[in-house]
Amino acid sequence: MRVEGELSRMEEDEGGSEEAVLIKQHRKEKKDLQGKIQSMKNAVPKNDKKRRKQLTEDIAKLEAELDERHSQELAALSQKPSTLTEVDNVANEVTNLHLETEVPAQQTRVSKAQKRREKKAALEKERDERIAEAEIENLSGARHVEGQKLAEVLSQRQLQIKHIPSDGHCMYRAIEHQMKERDINQSLSTLRHQTADYMRSHADDFLPFLTNPATGDMYTQEEFEKYCNETANAPAWGGQLELRALSHILKTAIEVIQADSSPIIIGEEYSGKPITVVYMRHAYGLGEHYNSVEPLTIPPAE
């Protein structure tokens, strides 16, 4: 019947379009993320176990963040006022007309829509409970403990952590932020290329500290050149060797603050106030990470 056809079309337009658009958007975002992940994988050599481990943790974090955001968006959509009001009105009119052959089909559609809403609500409740449980577990976890220790150390200096993304560039971004605090613009790309060039021109100072993870032998000249190329052009994780190079490039000492040991000063031969970064062993998925620092924000008195 014509009334049944109109009711079906209204239910489709009102009940499914917004959710369908969101789901389509989520699929595209997941596809885009997979492309980004593949690029990240291609940038890290397969035999570099340390960076492959960090890459795995970074990928897991990116996927978890995307899943979390998608869950929140779906939950927010499910909390919107029901869009089935007009559909229900038409269904009531059909019932009043005593069209017995049509009523059961319409009532079944409305009942299914209600079940979908109830299922979404149950999933949302379950997700909230899992998040709460994870937060409780994290209160005694290594990441939380490390964060507390660092906050205490930094607060004594009237400082706090300036969070840096965990994207393979964290050490260089932390240095970049510190230089901007001194009104000196040194881009991420510039810092990476300068570091690679300095290491190449002072190979004897760096090559003895680089070993092939598969054999344990010192890098060959070819392997060292590949390492320098990745330092310049890829999101390769930086560490103490790169900090040493940067201290010479910038002609300044670099202070590395840690939770469980005294600060390390790299480039002590340079006078003046050192730039400060924070080294975290348990920042993301129990992985290593660098952050910067900034002046402590004192909350206003209540």
Q: Which residues are catalytic?
A: 167, 170, 289
Whole-angstrom Cα distance, residue 271 to residue 212? 36
Mapping DSSP to helix (H, G, I), strand (E, B) and coil, where does residue 168 land?
A: coil
With vertex at residue 293, the alpha carbon angle to CA 290 and CA 295, rounded to the nearest 5 degrees, is 170
Which H or E run includes 161? strand 159-162
Give 218's DSSP letter.
B
Beta-carbon contacts of 169 under 8 Å, excluding residues fewer than 6 positions away, are 188, 192, 235
Radius of gyration from C-alpha coordinates of the chain: 28
Whole-angstrom Cα distance, residue 102 to residue 96? 11
